[in-house]
Structure 1
Amino acid sequence: MEKSWLKSYDARVPHEINPDSYASIVDILEQAVSTYADSVSYINLGKSITFKELDQQSKQFAAYLQHSGLKKGDAVAIMMPNLLQYPVALFGVLRAGMVVVNVNPQYTARELKHQLNDADAKAIVIVENFACTLSEVIVDTPVKTVMLTQIGDMLGFPKKWLTNLVVKHVKKMVPSFSLPSAIHFMDALKEGASKSYERPTLTGDDIAFLQYTGGTTGVSKGAMLSHRNMVANLEQASAILNTVTVPNKELVVTALPLYHIFALQANCLLFLKLGCANLLITNPRDMPAFVSELGKYPFTVLTGVNTLFNGLLNTPSFAELDFSKVKFSLGGGMAVQRSVAERWYKLTGHVLLEGYGLTECSPIVSVNPPQLEQYNGSIGLPLPSTNIRLVDDDGVDVAPGEAGEMLVKGPQVMVGYLNRPEATEEIMQDGWLATGDIARCDEDGYFYIVDRKKDMILVSGFNVFPNEIEEVAAMHDHIVEVAAVGIPHEASGEVVKLYAVRREDSLSEQDVIEHCRKHLTGYKVPKKVEFRDELPKSNVGKILRRELREEK
């Protein structure tokens, strides 16, 4: 289709970017730590580190990895919430020429085992709070090197000691575990300081991240995101945001976890490139504490998902903050609700921008321009060097103004799924990635999501795929068959509802929910269970989830 959106671009935004402007993310890091050495890079729990400190510590960690039996291209998992250790570990892995595997700390043992095995992860950096999960499965994974850290490790004395004491012994947030061969993360940094670091030769074709996402058929898959993919998306996003941001002058609030591709790219990497500070929020669910933290800093950018913005609006002390320095707020990961956007504008005086992306697209595909004067319900304009087609069920382009499945092409589109050529071929044809989302485009080139073709459920910005939920539920002895669908929810956008046929009438809704909770991360656990005598099926016996979704 014609790139009608280009006419709506700000005059300062180029139509195309150079995805090869940097050979790798490491090039971007090295430029940033050199240019902005004495400026603050990351802040967490009252402690900050400069770009120079980030440079030193990540290089030490890279040296440790290189001398610990790992080689270029090996996968290293990182499993922790937003802490100062995260960017140090992240950039250390990349500087060693290795591949980052981001892991949700809330994963159950089953989920963690699958991801570590699928990625062939040789090492993991993990916060002690979740080490018990790893200890359950490590013998059945390829992981040989374990690096443990505690929440307060980078906070300096005496705060480090006090924080770790409270977390472990007062709040008892560290279940017992056994990982006898593990090394402490801080000891790894010290050891790395005495080792030589050899900068690897990296090209755009080298894989930077294995970012896991679900699938409509089967288990979670690793999207292979190359250095070129990530660099391209950084250049694309920078082209839009450079119209409002000032290098070395912004402070972005990072409340979404860095293991989520949105926060990883839009916060961690983008504002590193700009030489700006990231305020890392470890536990954004504690809204009063989150708001208190916001009150300490003159933040200029805030990113999040709809549930986060809604939570802030419903926290009384949030209204007392100073929003005079704010440049823009950006919502992604799930649809921004109009009611939330309107309340946000009324309180802060700033439009809540909405963007759209996919893990498979590194992740940003489109975004509303920062100059937007009011919420418009769209997912914005495609980024520079991004093309979008809307097609019908036969793959034919729809007429202007009509809705069709959105296909995306651009340098940010993934290399493919790790070791899953058939799944890759299913979603990618001739460079076009099928998003599974149904959209329309208006005459000014703004895109609007109107429906979801996939069965994927979106809970607070996280993908939940029915097959995984159904597989776990079906493990229960008293369940005959099941179907999982998403139903609307005011706070999280959607929640999981399970339809089940049971063998025993004594089986209760709570029994099923408790069973699922043992094997699934919290946001995947069904919130409602409805028992049926039978489930709707096609003439070949396939359960028809769509019929269940469409029931009134």
Structure 2
Amino acid sequence: MNVSDQLSITAKENPAKIAYFFEEEETSYLELESAVQRFASSMEALGYQKGDHVALIVGNSPYYVISLYGALRLGLVVIPINPMYTANELSYILHNGDVKAIITMDIMLEKLASIDQDLPSVKHYIVCDSGATSSGQDEKLQSKIKAFTELIGNGKADFNGPMLSDQDTAIILYTSGTTGKPKGAVLSHQNIYSNAKDVADYLQINGNDRMIAALPMFHVFCLTVALNAPLMNGGTILILPKFSPADVLRVANNQEATVFAGVPTMYNYLLQAVKGEKPKFGNVRLCISGGAAMPVSLLKAFEDTFQIRLSEGYGLSEASPVTCFNPIDRPRKAGSIGTSIWNVENKVVNMLGEEVETGEVGELIVRGPNVMKGYYKLPEETEVALKDGWLYTGDMARVDEDGYFYIVDRKKDMILVGGYNVYPREVEEVLYTHPSVIEVAVIGEPHPESGESVTCFAVIDDPEITEQVLRDYCKGHLVAYKIPTRIEFLEELPKNTTGKILRRRLKSSVKS
């Protein structure tokens, strides 16, 4: 079974059910299924066959959903890519990923035209209409361009795709990484399907749910939790082209949303947007957080303000991505990423791979049907990440007596001060409890005496707050070596397109 087959089943059982809502228009499961069939048949007519690699460089839209499911139905390997990437970043992934076709927006053509000569394997650009005026800079691509709408219009609704195995590759996700070039995590149809089903069932996402998809669809968090999981059980997706607090609140209320998934910064923005008000958030019964650690003070402030349960989870691209979530039928533990979802095992081990005692800190490792096949064309890196069937996440964690896991920090982000371990998250949690701190990020900075020192970057809403004020605040909560030596105030912290704070950019600014 795979996610595209499941879509066919749902369309047959509930053809009139609304699959997604986008820009004031609704599309039924039957209409979506027909578009997926037509897209798959047209791609086959262009000469593409099972196993060929196609890039999906499209923003949140029906184009993305149809292209993804249509490509998977034909057995193509989909490589989702961030449309905001530079030409250089795109060139690397497209070349390394052996891409033969690119599905993209018309506004991307100028950028793609500048690297086309470096992509001899690319035969076609499947272009989606954004409504923008053409710049005329894509003329040299004309012979390779095919209009998305023409493919849908000329395709066959009775298309019969190839036989697909659970172990056939479905998606390659290029992880951003902290050093070097991005690596492609190879995910099978089983990986994608099992994680979507287990997440949907674990969080009780059903046909009555209306999920807001404001996270970028090219990111695996949105792909599984806000796209595949709702479609798995016949739910409806409320697609937003991009995140904005006002749009999320508007769609939630007007379209009677029931579930929202976001990263911590999104919840922070929502909280700031309704400051001093009693917010309305539709019929939302559950808010899901992932992608980065959720500060406990932010979690509690959001729940107190919106009166909605906020459950944190954990995942990574290499695990399709979800491995843990706070269960919704048991108490939610603030600061915890929850328990292992169904069919997935998590455990904490020491440097020898031995499981540590309850409460001790070690590396989190994962095993289950959601774990990747390996890194694309990187056998050595695959051997490091996958050992005896376990995926080594690189995250430091602990587990309590009830089986709830807690991420302490990234193994690579740990700061060593005079021989003592300092985990950035611990310092950040304290600073987030200060009433004037909006956002904060902590990194290690080289120090001639202690090896490293704690450096903090903060966004505050009170100009009277000084470095010394925040250091004094920390003294009541942290041992001396954990207190920031330096605090720099910024108007905004650097983030990626999913809203995750970019610590590596802060580290680069310190070095420069």
TM-score using structure 1 length: 0.74
Q: Which residue of 2 aligns with 1:232?
A: 194
The match for 2:171 is 209
Give the Cα separation in 1 of the matches to 2:238 and 2:393. 32
Output one character per residue of 1:298-333: Cα deviation in whole Å (capped at 9) or x when no partner: 000000100111111111399565346222110011
What secondary structure is seen at the aligned counterpart in 2 of 1:70?
coil
Q: Contact between 1:312 and 1:318, CA under 8 Å: does it hold in 2? A: no
User: What is the one-letter code of the residue matched to 2:80?
Assistant: N
Pair 1:267 & 2:226 matched: yes
Q: Distance in 1 between matches of 2:57 and 2:445?
A: 29
In structure 2, what residue type is equivalent to 1:418? Answer: Y
Residue aligning to 1:87: 65
Q: Offset of 1:26 from its aligned partner?
A: 2.4
Judge conservation of contact 2:259–2:287 (CA < 8 Å) in 1: yes
Pair 366,531 (structure 1): closer, same or farther in 2 beyond 3 Å: closer
What is residue 187 of structure 1 aligned with on the other side? 150
| RMSD of aligned Cα (Å) | 3.0
**Which residue matches 1:148?**
127
> In the aligned structure 1, how far is the partner of 2:12 from the partner of 2:275?
39
Shift in alpha-carbon separation, 1:492–1:149, aligned structure 2, 3 A: farther
Change (3 A) 1:42 1:430: same
Q: Which residue of structure 2 lines up, in the alignment, with residue 278 of structure 1?
A: 237
Question: Which residue identity is paired with 1:140?
Answer: D
1:65 corresponds in structure 2 to: 43
Aligned counterpart, 2:97: 119
Matches within 5 A, 1:372-391: 372-373=330-331, 375-391=333-349
Question: What is residue 304 of structure 2 aligned with on the other side?
Answer: 346
1:375 deviation in Å?
4.8
1:436-515 alignment to 2 at 5 Å? Answer: 436-454=394-412, 494=441
Letter in 2 for 1:304: G
Give the aligned partner of residue 210 of structure 2. Answer: 251
Conserved in 2, the CA contact under 8 Å of 1:291 and 1:317?
no
State the alpha-carbon separation in 1 of the partners of residues 100 and 511 from structure 2: 45
Pair 295,498 (structure 1): closer, same or farther in 2 beyond 3 Å: farther
State the one-letter code of the partner of 1:32. T
Q: Which has the higher contact order (CA 8 A, sep 6+)?
A: 1
Using the alignment, how far apart are the partners of 1:69 and 1:324 within structure 2?
Answer: 46
Q: Is the 8 A contact 1:147 1:185 kept in 2?
A: yes
Does the 8 Å CA contact 2:323/2:346 hold for their aligned counterparts?
no
Q: 1:318 to 1:91 in 2, by over 3 A?
A: farther
1:480-522 deviation line (CA, Å, top 9, x unaligned):
xxxxx999697676599999xxxxxxxxxxxxxxxxx9xx999
| Secondary structure at 2:55 match in 1 | strand
Provide, for residues 212-235 of structure 1, a one-character-per-residue CA deviation record: whole Å limited to 9, x for no partner.
113455311111100111122123
* In 2: Cα distance, 1:196 partner to 1:50 partner: 18
Query: TM-score, length-normalised on structure 2?
Result: 0.80
What letter matches 1:350 in structure 2? I
Task: Identify if the C-alpha distance between structure 1 residues 74 and 103 changes in structure 2 by more than 3 Å, giving closer, same or farther.
Answer: same
Distance 2:85 2:354 in 1: 40
CA distances 1:268-317 after superposition (whole Å, capped 9, x unpaired): 11100111110111021x43344333332100000010011111111139
SS of 2:292 mapped into structure 1: coil
**Match in the other structure for 1:474:** none
- Which of 502, 505, 509 aligns to 1:526? It is 505
Say whether the 8 Å CA contact 1:283–1:290 is kept in structure 2.
no
How many equivalent residue pairs? 442
Q: Which amino acid aligns with 2:249?
A: V
CA distance in 2, matches of 1:175, 1:317: 45
1:345-396 alpha-carbon deviations (Å, 9 max, x no partner): 1122112100000100010000001135555210000112222221122322
| 3-state SS of 2:115 partner | helix
Establish whether residue 422 from structure 1 lines up as the match of residue 380 from structure 2.
yes
Q: Which amino acid aligns with 2:188?
A: S
Paired amino acid for 1:431: G
Kept in 2, the 8 Å contact 1:438–1:453? The answer is: yes
Q: Secondary structure of 1:454's partner? A: helix
Report how far residue 527 of structure 1 moved.
Answer: 5.2
**Correspondence 1:292 to 2:250:** yes
Rounded Cα–Cα distance in structure 2 between residues aligned with 1:383 and 1:128: 40
Q: d(CA) in 1 for partners of 2:508 and 2:41?
A: 51
Please give the secondary structure, in 2, of the residue aligned with 1:339: helix
Q: CA separation in 1, counterparts of 2:511 and 2:107? A: 40
Question: The residue matched to 2:395 in structure 1 has which SS?
Answer: strand
What amino acid is the match of 1:147?
I
Amino acid at match of 2:149: M
Distance 2:216 2:108 in 1: 15
2:361 maps to amino acid: A
Asked whether the 8 Å contact 1:250–1:299 carries over to 2, the reply is yes
Report the equivalent of 1:197. 159
Change (3 A) 1:495 1:118: farther
Q: Is the CA contact (8 Å cut-off) linking 2:36 and 2:70 kept in structure 1? A: yes
- Structure 2 CA distance for partners of 1:228 and 1:77, relative to 1, 3 Å: same
Question: Match for residue 316 of structure 2?
Answer: 358
* Distance in structure 2 (CA, Å) of the matches to 1:318 and 1:134: 46
Which residue type is aligned with residue 428 of structure 1? L
Aligned to 2:268: 310
Residue aligning to 1:475: none
